[in-house]
Amino acid sequence: MNNLTPWQQLTKSQITVQTALNLLINSDKSVNLELLDSGLTKRFVGQFKDKNNIPNVIPLLLWQGYYYLGTPRKITLEQQQYLKLCLNTQIKIFRIDVQSYLTWYHQQNIQKKFSDQGLINPLTGEIDPENISETTQIFLSQAEGQIERIKTILASALRNRASDIHLEPTSLGLRVRFRIDGILRHITTIEPQFSRKVIVALKAMCDMDIAQSRIPQDGRIGEKYMSGKETANLDLRVNTLPCVSGLKGEMSEKAVLRLLRQNNTFQTIADLGFSEKSRHIYEHWLSQPQGLIIFTGPTGSGKTSTLYTSLQAISNESINVITVENPVEYLLPGITQTQVNEAAGMTFAAGLKAILRQDPDIVMLGEIRDHETAETAIRAALTGHLVLTTLHTNDAIGAIPRLKDLDLDTGLISDALLGVVAQRLVRKNCPHCSEIYHPKPEDLEVLGLSLEIANITEWKKGKGCKRCFDSGYLGREAIVELLNVDDIVIQIIREESSNQINQLKSYLHNIEYDSFRVSAIEKVTTGITTIEEIKRVLPHSVLRKHTFAPYKYQGLQVVNT
């Protein structure tokens, strides 16, 4: 088997120019890029002082004073003269397809640093949709060493809006997956011979103990591996986990990288996904001088983005805003942010007590985990502070029994609590490929809607395109459930009956509060998302249409209006 490139074979007189061209350019004008000579390419590019001014050509061959160049478009006479002047040779032009040129161009110009800049199309000047798997495989094949492989994976993840990278050892090699818009997508598999080496290199980059592979480890990518202004607003958290892989069940390690962009992507509260009604209620809470606002939802439901956007909305020079977080995920201007360090005794409870001596107006507490933290947060809300915090519950109503489980006085809860925001993130229909969708009877049944009120002319569904990775979805938005603590909710909280939660549900459903179901109906009937996406993120129980008798409480009757 001949390992020489066509150009090398030509220079050794083993083949003719025409044979070399036939090897490089297929009948459909596509170029066999893997057969191009890297030395010739480097020599060609090096002859231009400004790489950005190179015309849209690929160097195919250099033979007897002529550069043989491939191009997908017509080269003007002026460009031909420029090429001859820079290359100091004559040129011969051959037509090639656009995709071959674009792939070659990106091979030469890809940023293998931590940059979130997309792939620029040199023919149009616009950012092109990227075939993640294809480009990642191409650039991985060119990477020299394990750190370069890792940087290549990171660059690809950043360009394609990934929030997490999963590196999983398998019998076929190291499987690489990106989480994009909340969904894991398989990208590529690195060859088995590099699988362990990549994990070890990653651990070295994070200052982990590379000799220890039997316990989980946490780390972050150090500043010494970041270069360029694009990396200033990025933090990379890494976790490794021992696991069994391969056909023989060998011990190995899986790594997950979380990409924390230090700039919040939301600009205003209106961008978060609140309905107009719930947004007005929520903004009213934020305008209060004191009280407790709780955010609930599982990991990855967007609580942090909502919290940070809210703090940015209400922060100004006359207000002292302090946070206690674990970790600090975004850096907010004008806000004092502290980070939990449990090994040093800096817990949420200790941090909260400390910042209350810093004369704060607004406090953001990353999470309530125990009685001490919860009681301190509630007492802070009762003594002139606006406190924002999070809990892990399934819905907004669930925050009430969760606080009681922490052995808190119900009177304190009802006096301090302004409201609860529960949220999930749903993928939005891709604006580039979404089309009008006519709902089926089973679609209407999921949300308990009749045909007359379903607004079926506005339902949409994406058919899939390059911009959304053929998923039909692009970007995410919060779907929100809002529990407003009014006078009757306060009375129900104080009533320590065994039927308290049913009483609360009865009252809230009869006043048609902003439940997950109400929010889901709005998202679907306005074409923002689909029934399939709603069913993916919300359990069936919250989508059922509940019927309750009009609720009476201490002589007050609440009925639908």
Q: Tell how far CA 510 is from the center of its chain.
A: 37
**Whether residue 23 is found in the same domain as residue 158:** no
What integer pLDDT is reported at residue 396 of this predicted model? 94
Write down the pLDDT at residue 499: 81
Helix ranges (DSSP H) in 290-330: 303-314
Residue range 172-189, pLDDT digits in tens: 999 999 999 999 999 999
Clarify whether residues 96 and 127 are in a common domain.
Answer: no
How would you label 258-282 residue by residue, b for 16+ Cβ within 10 Å and e otherwise?
bbbeeebebeebeebbbbeebbebb
Same-domain status, 255 and 275: no
d(CA 239, CA 237): 7
Q: How far apart are CA 102 and CA 58, in angstroms?
A: 10
What is the domain-level CATH number for residue 439? 3.40.50.300
pLDDT of 254: 95
Please identify, among 220, 235, 261, the residue that sits at the C-terminal boundary of a domain. 261
- DSSP H/E element including 403: helix 399-405
pLDDT at 18: 95
Say whether both 443 and 360 belong to one domain: yes
Provide the number of structural domains found in the chain. 3
CA 231 – CA 251 distance, rounded (Å): 34
Q: Give me the domain span that covers residue 308.
A: 269-556
Residue 113 belongs to some domain of the structure: no
One-letter amino acid identity for 444?
Answer: L
Q: Are residues 151 and 94 in the same domain?
A: no
Half-sphere exposure of 274 (CA within 13 A, CB side): 22
Question: Does residue 254 lie within any of the structural domains?
Answer: yes
Task: Say whether both 71 and 182 belong to one domain.
Answer: no
Q: What is the DSSP letter of 207?
A: T
Q: What does the block give as tokens for 203?
A: 């651990």
Note whether residue 131 is domain-resident: yes
The whole-number pLDDT of residue 469 equals: 85
State pLDDT tens for residues 244-269: 876 566 788 999 999 877 665 557 89
What CATH number did the domain enclosing 234 receive? 3.30.450.90
Helix, strand, coil percent content, the chain, rounded in steps of 5 = 40, 25, 35
Give all strands (DSSP E) within 379-503, no chain letters: 386-391, 417-429, 434-436, 460-462, 473-484
Residues 6+ away with beta carbon under 8 Å from 547: none
Q: Which residues pair with 337 in a beta bridge?
A: 323
The tokens for 403 are 């606080």
pLDDT by residue for the chain (561 residues), tens only, comes to 468 999 999 999 999 999 999 999 999 999 998 899 989 999 999 999 887 788 999 999 999 999 999 999 999 999 999 999 999 999 999 999 998 998 888 777 765 444 555 567 777 767 666 678 877 887 787 788 899 899 889 888 988 889 999 999 998 999 999 999 999 999 999 999 999 999 999 999 998 999 998 899 998 886 666 544 444 467 788 999 999 876 566 788 999 999 877 665 557 898 888 999 999 999 999 999 999 999 999 888 989 889 999 999 999 899 999 999 887 877 788 899 998 888 888 888 899 999 999 999 999 998 998 999 999 999 999 999 999 999 988 899 999 999 999 999 999 999 999 999 999 999 999 999 999 999 999 999 888 888 888 888 999 999 998 888 889 999 999 999 999 999 999 999 988 777 888 889 889 988 889 999 999 999 999 999 999 999 999 988 888 776 555 555 554 444 443
**Residue 21 near residue 69, CB atoms below 8 Å:** no
Cα Rg, the chain, nearest whole Å: 29
Residues, the chain: 561
Note whether 398 and 473 are same-domain residues. yes
- The per-residue pLDDT for 538 is 92
If we measure between CA atoms, which residue out of 384, 390, 386 comes closest to residue 363?
A: 386
Both 70 and 155 in one domain: the answer is no
In this structure, the answer to whether residues 253 and 312 fall within a common structural domain is no
CB-count burial class (<10 Å; 0-12, 13-18, 19+) for 233 = middle
32 contacts 22 by C-beta, under 8 angstroms: no
Is 499 inside a domain boundary?
yes
| Strand 162-170 relative to strand 250-261, pairing | antiparallel
Query: Is residue 359, in this structure, part of any structural domain at all?
Result: yes
Helical spans, DSSP H, in 299-339: 303-314
Boundary of a domain, candidates 223, 241, 261: 261
**Shared-domain flag, residues 282 and 298:** yes
Residue 235 φ then ψ, to 5°: -125, 135
- DSSP lists the bridge partners of residue 242 as 253
| Distances in whole angstroms, Cα of residue 479 to Cα of each of 217, 254, 282 | 34, 32, 14
Q: Beta partners for 176?
A: 167, 188
Q: How far is CA 419 from CA 178, 272, 284, 386, 395, in A?
A: 35, 17, 10, 12, 12
Of 232, 224, 227, 231, give the one whose Cα is nearest residue 206.
224
Confirm if 147 and 201 have CB atoms less than 8 A apart.
yes
| Alpha-carbon gap, residue 333 to 412, rounded angstroms | 33
**Residues 274, 250 share a domain:** no
Asked if the structure places residue 142 within a domain, the reply is: yes
Determine, yes or no, domain membership for 112: no
Strands 66-71 and 58-63: antiparallel
The count of C-alpha atoms lying within 13 angstroms of the C-alpha of 402, restricted to the half-sphere facing its C-beta, is 20
* 8 A C-beta contact, residue 536 and residue 450: no
User: Which residues have a Cβ under 8 Å from the Cβ of 193 and sit 6 or more positions away?
Assistant: none
Residue 246: count other Cβ atoms within 10 Å of its Cβ.
14
Cα dihedral sign, 306-266-484-387: positive
User: What's at 427, amino acid-wise?
Assistant: R
Is 115 inside a domain boundary?
no
**What's the confidence (pLDDT) of residue 239?**
94
Instruction: Indicate if 198 and 325 belong to the same structural domain.
Output: no
Vertex 301, ends 398 and 389: CA angle to 5°?
60
CATH number of the domain within which 71 lies: 3.30.300
Of 261, 282, 297, the position where a domain reaches its end is 261
